[in-house]
Structure 1
Amino acid sequence: LGTDHVDLFQTHIWDKDTDLDELVEAMADIVRAGKALYVGVTTMPGWTLAKCRAAASARDLPAFISMQCEYNPAHRECERELLPYCSHDEVALIPFSPIARGFLAADRRDPGQQTARTKSDDYTQKYYYREGDHAVREAVAAVAADIGKTPAQVALAWTLARPGIAAPIFGATSIEHVDEAVAALDIALAAEQIDCIDRAYEPRPLNASGH
């Protein structure tokens, strides 16, 4: 990376077999060694994040200050516990897949709208092809058509507008994707447009993907 430290160093997918106290200590070592200014986590359940932050506080160690979780109009399971906790404790929320891995950008059932990722990403096929997910996609597309924007921009704007969101992470494969995402910063969805998207959402069961 050409640098001696990074501002924020985060874990990736939570490993339920890793001791939480050991995780807190190991991440604190990274800060104490000067390799990172702050540490955060990704996809941890709310109770584990709370336990880790409490352990860090009790031992005067650097606490996790950010949570990277899957969040978009069609995947909102983190609203159950994780987001309220992060908001209460002022933990920065960095949602990934704000466009649902491209699912919300177009109707991927149409062969003409499929991409290399559509054909190879079994995660998207497994978690984003319910009838309710397509209902959300259609609502996002309707709002986009109404305001003259792309569905990807509307999905980003919806995610950005949620309380506590710091910076969504999206996957860009072209300069145009970046320009399109930057332009989404200027989109302010009306209450009725947000309601249109929200009403289409179908919660996943507790044992499904999410937090």
Structure 2
Amino acid sequence: MEYVQLGTSDLKVSKVCLGCMGFGDPHKGMHSWTLPYEQSKKIIHYALDQGINFFDTAMAYQGGSSEEYLGRAIREYGCRDNVVIATKFHGRTLEQIQQGISAKDHIENCLNQSLKRLQMDYVDLYILHAWDNNTPIEETLEALDAMIQQGKIRYIGVSNCYAWQIAKANEIAKARHLHSFVSVQGHYNLIFREEEREMKPYCDLHHVALTPYSALASGRLAKHPGEQSQRLKEDTYAKGKYDQSYNQDLPIILRVEELAQKHHVSMSEIALSWLMTKVTVPIVGATKCSHIDTAIRAVDCHLTPDECQYLEACYQPHHLVGVMAEKR
């Protein structure tokens, strides 16, 4: 396994981050395909055995049970000091604002609840799950900085935002001597490359780590056209992100399939290998140990510049989807 620096932090992370959205009680959240604890633990422990030290979860994943499963598995493995744990929080609801709950109290409460579920004293990376339009960024940064001062957070990141928003936030943090965002977790893969317009250039210039989610487009870059899986059938949220652009994405998927055959590897390895040339670390979900093996092999699957260009050539601009479409 290769390890890289996470932005301007002192965190050394594996070139593969295990996304934990697939772990958790299927009765407690929006996904019906998530794994129960024993199966989740098996995959987490297998990832650890293969050298993966970076794990990403969120309070929103399956009603917090993803955090519970990850924390319990790490505790049973006995390796807290050797892993980098990232979790995420959402901003206040309008109802909470009307109740007079401050941003600081909300963030502290969310963090404390996550730490309780994780059975940990601190998280290495605490991520704002989506830009909070209801709270001045100054208040959010001050609240997060206070939690860093208390030793409950090491670094902070942000997910699902525009480049101008993180640029503004980090300039404010610098001016006020607060901790700034060291990473961005956005939607980025071979069939959705809108992050390349502004976010990637900003992050490359300012050494902000790119740790994208949906690295395989919820399985669409891992499957041959027409091939099915439980997630492809049941993940209605992913259908909302990708089904409308299927026809324009298909030529890219076919090129992934073509290069996979040429290199005698899986489609996942080709898609992930390409993404690894663009970002710091992709977040890769796994519901089988074989998914871990595939992600690790992608680290050593080196595409030529011409092959990367071949994969990119068919891309057409996309409308924003998922969380970013909801935030407009």
Q: RMSD over aligned Cα, in angstroms?
A: 1.7
Give the unaligned 5+ runs of structure 1.
Answer: none
- Which residue in the other structure is 1:52 paired with? 169
Query: In structure 1, how many angstroms separate the alpha carbons of the residues matched to 2:236 and 2:182?
Result: 31
- Which residue in the other structure is 1:69 paired with? 186
Kindly indicate whether residue 316 of structure 2 is the aligned counterpart of residue 199 of structure 1: no
Larger mean CA deviation between 83-92 and 129-138 belongs to: 129-138
Q: Secondary structure of the residue that 1:149 maps to in structure 2? A: coil
Residues 38 and 65 in structure 1, CA contact (< 8 A), matched pair in contact too: yes
- Which residue in the other structure is 1:6 paired with? 123
- Which residue in the other structure is 2:285 paired with? 171
Residue pairs, 1:1-211, within 5 angstroms: 1-107=118-224, 110=226, 113-129=227-243, 130=245, 131-162=247-278, 165-205=279-319, 208=321
Residues 104 and 151 in structure 1, CA contact (< 8 A), matched pair in contact too: yes
Q: Secondary structure of the residue that 1:137 maps to in structure 2? A: helix
Give the unaligned 5+ runs of structure 2.
Answer: 1-117
TM-score, normalised relative to structure 1: 0.91
Residues 103 and 124 in structure 1, CA contact (< 8 A), matched pair in contact too: no
The runs of at least 4 consecutive aligned structure 1 residues that moved more than 4 Å come to 207-211
Q: Residue type of the partner of 1:145? A: Q
Query: In structure 2, how many angstroms separate the alpha carbons of the residues matched to 1:190 and 1:87?
Result: 21
1:126: Cα distance to partner? 2.5
Larger mean CA deviation between 76-85 and 15-24 belongs to: 15-24
Aligned length: 205
Cα 1:120–1:13 shift into 2, 3 Å:
farther
Query: In structure 1, how many angstroms separate the alpha carbons of the residues matched to 2:315 and 2:237?
Result: 19
TM-score, normalised relative to structure 2: 0.59
Query: In structure 1, how many angstroms separate the alpha carbons of the residues matched to 2:134 and 2:120?
Result: 32
